[in-house]
Chains A and B, each alone.
Chain A
Amino acid sequence: MTGSVAMHMSDGLLNPTTSLLFVGVAVVGLAVATAKARGDLDDRTAPLAGLVAAFLFATQMLNFPVLPGVSGHLLGGALAAILVGPWVGALCVSIVLVVQALVFADGGVTALGANVTNMALIGTATGFLVATALKRFATGKVGLVVVAFVAALVNTVVASLGFVLEFAIGGDPAFSLGAVTATVVGVHCLIGIGEGVITALTVGAVAAVRPDLVYLLRGTTRPLELREGTPA
């Protein structure tokens, strides 16, 4: 709950010019992501991306405990970037956000551009860049889990900085930017830890069963393991 509340901006937080500016940013970003996603998945793009988007939507309904009485849910930017790559990931997260705004009234329609920019574009891009930069540590199970944790934590905090940027351009000038930044980033550091833990464990679980599905692990080959001994 905390995650969604903190990050889906409502109408009225940003002035119309800024809202429209970020609609433009989101449209350009999405166009690039769409073009690149085609290259990642060829003709299977649409069905697979549709199911991945449904998966992301469904995971946002799963609440996990943070402390007694406080629960959070996954935002999924870094998870999508690590599992299906930045392009398909950004596309899926954007579509989830658009559908949430139009069909479920979650997040303002004029803030949609800014929301897509933060969570889908900045979120997946940061998550993927961090994960790629740390890729050489992602050998073995523990390494991959740690990389996924760091990527999701950094992704959440940087996405919240996207909000700070938007608020600096088109927010209410009555507030000192320092205080807004401190509050927003502070809250998202906490959210990011939860996001990181659950992203890391999820990626670990997928890599244990179908490592071929983890986009981050593409191109790495695991040496064949021969286990000798009598089967139990």
Chain B
Amino acid sequence: MSAVHAHLLHRPGNTPVHRLAPQVKVVAAVTGVLCVVATPRERFWAFGLYLAVLAGVWVIARIPPGWLAARALIEVPFVVLALAFPFLAGGPTVEFLGLRLSEHGLLSGWNIAVKGTLGVLVSLTLAATTTPGELIVGLQRLRVPTMVITIATLMLRYLDVIAAEARRMRIARICRGHDPRFLWQVGATARGIGTLFIRSYERGERVHLAMVSRGWTGAMPDQGQPAGRRTWLVGLIPTALAAIVLGIAL
């Protein structure tokens, strides 16, 4: 699952969106999604405008819509949930194609589907234009505590190592005839996870010793650049547009 899309989300590029300081992008994305979530669900036009603003960012960042659509499929379970709402909620009903649908349910389903989808699209845009390492630097510039930054950095750095180890162990199991179909056949997988934990922990101990012997003092060096006032102003333009839409919609 995650293993497959681990590296597919970032689209290398050299557009203004890619070059924008990561801390600005994180703030822009989070406040942008907050605007979307705060919009009353009956203002259908507002969500169209949000999409238009986001599409503008995609044009600048040169992200093709098809690329985003394929990756937005992560949202599908929530859309299915939203489709179920018109049949489940109570209250006054409307007739549509011979089906009796709850008005409340229709609105709730629309609410979750549209806000969830816009949220995923914003997250995808952020991930597409920012490498995981840059995101961590962005969080560091936003004064997230040092310990959290260090843990996150090491996690991202060793994720591939641990994931590859897990994959090798899985292939080794399959080579030995492992073909589980039911929950009670999960023993070998679970013992594999146990072994993976021991190997990760022991690798952590070795990594720590290696770091100490190379002069580790307890904090990652700050690799980011402070973003100037101009960068913040330019970077937050899409979010400002979203805030204006929200202001009108409220």
B49 lies within 8 A of chain A by Cβ: no
List residues of chain B with CB within 8 A of the CB of A61: 1-3, 163, 166
Q: How far is the CA of A205 from the CA of B186 in the complex (A)?
A: 13
B20 lies within 8 A of chain A by Cβ: no
B211 lies within 8 A of chain A by Cβ: yes
Q: Do residues B218 and A50 form an inter-chain contact, with CB atoms below 8 A? A: no
Residue of B nearest to A10 (CB): B116
Residue of B nearest to A72 (CB): B183
Q: How far is the CA of A110 from the CA of B150 in the complex (A)?
A: 24
Contact of B155 among A96, A108, A172 (CB under 8 A): A96
Interface stretch of the complex, out of B120-128, B224-232, B234-242: B120-128
B74 lies within 8 A of chain A by Cβ: yes
In the complex where A46-B147, A197-B183 touch, is A11 in contact with B154 (Cβ < 8 A)? no
B112 lies within 8 A of chain A by Cβ: yes
Contact of B75 among A10, A31, A209 (CB under 8 A): A10
**Most B CB within 10 A of own CB, among A14, A43, A53, A67:** A53
Q: How far is the CA of A201 from the CA of B180 in the complex (A)?
A: 15
Contacting A at CB under 8 A, from B166-217, are 166, 170, 180-187, 189-198, 200-201, 203-205, 207-208, 211-212
List residues of chain A with CB within 8 A of the CB of B26: 102
List residues of chain A with CB within 8 A of the CB of B116: 10-13, 108
Interface membership of chain B positions 135-162, coded 1 if the CB is closer than 8 angstroms to chain A and 0 otherwise = 1000000000101101111111111011
B104 lies within 8 A of chain A by Cβ: yes
List residues of chain A with CB within 8 A of the CB of B204: 44, 47-52
Interface membership of chain A positions 86-105, coded 1 if the CB is closer than 8 angstroms to chain B and 0 otherwise = 00000110011011111111
Q: How far is the CA of A179 from the CA of B90 in the complex (A)?
A: 11
Q: How far is the CA of A172 from the CA of B185 in the complex (A)?
A: 40
Q: Within the complex, what minimum Cβ distance (angstroms) separates B38 from chain A?
A: 4
List residues of chain A with CB within 8 A of the CB of B158: 50-51, 54
Q: How far is the CA of A198 from the CA of B111 in the complex (A)?
A: 36
In the complex where A55-B197, A104-B5 touch, is A16 in contact with B155 (Cβ < 8 A)? no
B108 lies within 8 A of chain A by Cβ: yes
List residues of chain B with CB within 8 A of the CB of A55: 162, 196-197, 200-201
Q: Do residues B37 and A12 form an inter-chain contact, with CB atoms below 8 A? A: yes
Interface size class of A (residues with CB under 8 A): 35 or more
Q: How far is the CA of A46 from the CA of B203 in the complex (A)?
A: 13
Q: Do residues B190 and A198 form an inter-chain contact, with CB atoms below 8 A? A: yes
B51 lies within 8 A of chain A by Cβ: no
Contact of A110 among B74, B108, B119, B205 (CB under 8 A): B119
List residues of chain A with CB within 8 A of the CB of B33: 11, 108-110
B78 lies within 8 A of chain A by Cβ: yes
A132 lies within 8 A of chain B by Cβ: no
Q: How far is the CA of A194 from the CA of B204 in the complex (A)?
A: 28
Q: Do residues B127 and A46 form an inter-chain contact, with CB atoms below 8 A? A: no
A178 lies within 8 A of chain B by Cβ: no
Q: Do residues A198 and B186 form an inter-chain contact, with CB atoms below 8 A? A: yes
**Most B CB within 10 A of own CB, among A34, A51, A103, A205:** A51
Q: How far is the CA of A48 from the CA of B158 in the complex (A)?
A: 11
List residues of chain B with CB within 8 A of the CB of A139: none
Q: Do residues B71 and A19 form an inter-chain contact, with CB atoms below 8 A? A: no
Q: Do residues B34 and A202 form an inter-chain contact, with CB atoms below 8 A? A: no
A210 lies within 8 A of chain B by Cβ: yes
Q: Do residues B170 and A62 form an inter-chain contact, with CB atoms below 8 A? A: yes
Q: How far is the CA of A25 from the CA of B161 in the complex (A)?
A: 33
**Most B CB within 10 A of own CB, among A104, A106, A176, A208:** A104
Contacting B at CB under 8 A, from A151-210, are 172, 174-176, 179, 193-194, 197-198, 200-206, 208-210
**Most B CB within 10 A of own CB, among A31, A105, A172, A176:** A105
Q: How far is the CA of A99 from the CA of B181 in the complex (A)?
A: 31
A144 lies within 8 A of chain B by Cβ: no
Contact of A198 among B71, B189, B208 (CB under 8 A): B189
A–B pairs, 16, beta carbons within 8 Å? A12-B36, A50-B207, A51-B207, A52-B200, A53-B151, A54-B163, A62-B166, A62-B189, A64-B186, A64-B189, A64-B190, A95-B151, A103-B156, A197-B190, A201-B193, A209-B194
What 5 A-B pairs are tightest by C-beta distance, nearest first? A12-B115, A205-B194, A50-B154, A11-B119, A201-B190
